[in-house]
């Protein structure tokens, strides 16, 4: 795990060039996106950002996005696998709206600078504090692709190493940070993910709202995304069952060995009755314990 200790204890940079970046322009851009996502887009001012979901009419999560509001545009920062989908999904709903969509992924090189002592460098692009891949403190830099090497040279001069994919995965799971396509998919409802900072309950209508409100009224999903510590050095595969009381009570979505803790950190959808901190389950013969850390 290259850069693991730096990412946990100091600062490291993360290569995020694979992420999709979509530019929205036109007078109706905020209104359209507001009607298509779970968060309150229209209240964003230039310089603000929020995290949001795209839902279908059944309330299932089709994609997530970081929404960055700028003076003349909105930027959508999305998972690589959902870039084309989000473009096509939004385009279907542009009828008489003044909205233009542009895939600008290749124009930018995204770099995350994360860790306990991370800070925005003197960059050549847009630096946004608070958007992180691991759940640690950090800043995401949207730098022009042609100037990426200059930024990396600046980071190297500051003694900030790169964290590889294995280190990022371990730290994000230590911090209970879910990822769309892994821990959050179309198979789940918003409340089951516990990522309620992606949702506004005062914004008015949007696609999928009826189901979100219905689940809210009932106030008791059957399962929740939950952070676990598993007392083993071998990370269980996604889909591995958690057993409790002789029955299946949950399934792992992602897991990785945590060198700093000497055990595996994992995220799993767990039946509601088994989600209290300290609750113990069995995972392929190893003791799995619900942690006090909340999914975020």
CATH number, domain with residue 258: 2.40.30.110
* Integer Cα distance of 47 and 67 in angstroms: 10
Between the CA of residue 140 and those of 99, 103, 181, 295, what are the distances in Å?
A: 26, 19, 20, 20
Where a domain ends, among 126, 143, 170? 170
User: What's the confidence (pLDDT) of residue 119?
Assistant: 83
Q: Could you tell me if 159 and 280 lie in one domain?
A: no
Q: Could you tell me if 50 and 153 lie in one domain?
A: yes
Structural domain range at position 231: 222-296
Say if 196 falls within a structural domain: no
Report pLDDT digits (tens) over 165-202. Answer: 999 999 999 999 999 999 999 999 999 999 999 999 99
* Integer Cα distance of 293 and 278 in angstroms: 11
Give the residue from 188, 67, 189, 198 showing the smallest Cα distance to 128. Answer: 67
Say if 183 falls within a structural domain: no
Q: Could you tell me if 226 and 164 lie in one domain?
A: no
Q: Could you tell me if 9 and 102 lie in one domain?
A: yes
Where a domain ends, among 136, 170, 204? 170
Say if 214 falls within a structural domain: no
Helix (H, G, I), strand (E, B) or coil at 246: coil
Q: Could you tell me if 262 and 162 lie in one domain?
A: no
Q: Could you tell me if 32 and 102 lie in one domain?
A: yes
Say if 195 falls within a structural domain: no
Residues of the chain below pLDDT 50? none
Q: Could you tell me if 164 and 238 lie in one domain?
A: no
CATH number at residue 100: 3.30.1360.120
Q: Could you tell me if 258 and 149 lie in one domain?
A: no
User: What's the confidence (pLDDT) of residue 106?
Assistant: 96
User: What's the confidence (pLDDT) of residue 197?
Assistant: 97
Q: Could you tell me the two tokens for 151?
A: 């930024």
Cβ atoms 183, 15 nearer than 8 A: no
* Integer Cα distance of 68 and 50 in angstroms: 7
Q: Could you tell me if 151 and 286 lie in one domain?
A: no
Q: Could you tell me if 242 and 99 lie in one domain?
A: no
Say if 191 falls within a structural domain: no
Axis-axis angle for helices 29-36, 83-92 (nearest 10): 110
Number of domains in the chain: 2
Say if 247 falls within a structural domain: yes
Where a domain ends, among 153, 170, 187? 170
Q: Could you tell me if 54 and 125 lie in one domain?
A: yes
User: What's the confidence (pLDDT) of residue 45?
Assistant: 97
Say if 69 falls within a structural domain: yes
Cβ atoms 176, 135 nearer than 8 A: yes
Say if 52 falls within a structural domain: yes
* Integer Cα distance of 151 and 121 in angstroms: 8
Q: Could you tell me if 121 and 230 lie in one domain?
A: no
């Amino acid at each position: 795990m290259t850069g693991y200790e730096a990412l946990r204890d100091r600062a490291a940079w993360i290569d995020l060039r694979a992420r999709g970046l979509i530019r929205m322009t036109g007078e109706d851009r905020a209104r359209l996106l507001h009607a298509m996502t779970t968060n309150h887009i229209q209240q964003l001012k230039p310089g603000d950002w929020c995290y949001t979901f795209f839902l279908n009419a059944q309330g299932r999560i089709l994609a997530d996005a970081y929404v960055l509001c700028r003076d003349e545009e909105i930027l959508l920062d999305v998972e690589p696998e959902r870039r084309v989908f989000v473009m096509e999904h939004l385009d279907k709903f542009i009828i008489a709206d003044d909205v233009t969509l542009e895939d600008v992924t290749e124009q930018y090189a995204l770099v995350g600078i994360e860790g306990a002592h991370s800070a925005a460098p003197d960059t050549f692009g847009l630096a946004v504090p608070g958007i992180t891949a691991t759940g640690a403190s950090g800043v995401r830099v949207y730098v022009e692709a042609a100037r990426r090497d200059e930024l990396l040279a600046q980071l190297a001069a500051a003694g900030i190493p790169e964290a590889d994919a294995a280190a990022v995965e371990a730290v994000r799971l230590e911090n209970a940070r879910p990822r769309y396509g892994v821990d959050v998919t179309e198979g789940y409802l918003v409340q089951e993910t516990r990522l309620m900072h992606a949702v506004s309950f005062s914004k008015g209508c949007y696609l999928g709202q009826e189901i979100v409100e219905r689940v809210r009224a009932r106030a008791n999903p059957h399962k929740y995304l939950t952070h676990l510590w598993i007392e083993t050095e071998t990370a269980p595969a996604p889909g591995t069952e958690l057993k409790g009381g002789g029955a299946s009570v949950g399934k792992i979505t992602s897991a990785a060995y945590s060198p700093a803790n000497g055990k595996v950190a994992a995220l799993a959808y767990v039946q509601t009755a088994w989600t209290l901190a300290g609750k113990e389950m069995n995972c392929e013969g190893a003791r799995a314990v619900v942690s006090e850390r909340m999914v975020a």
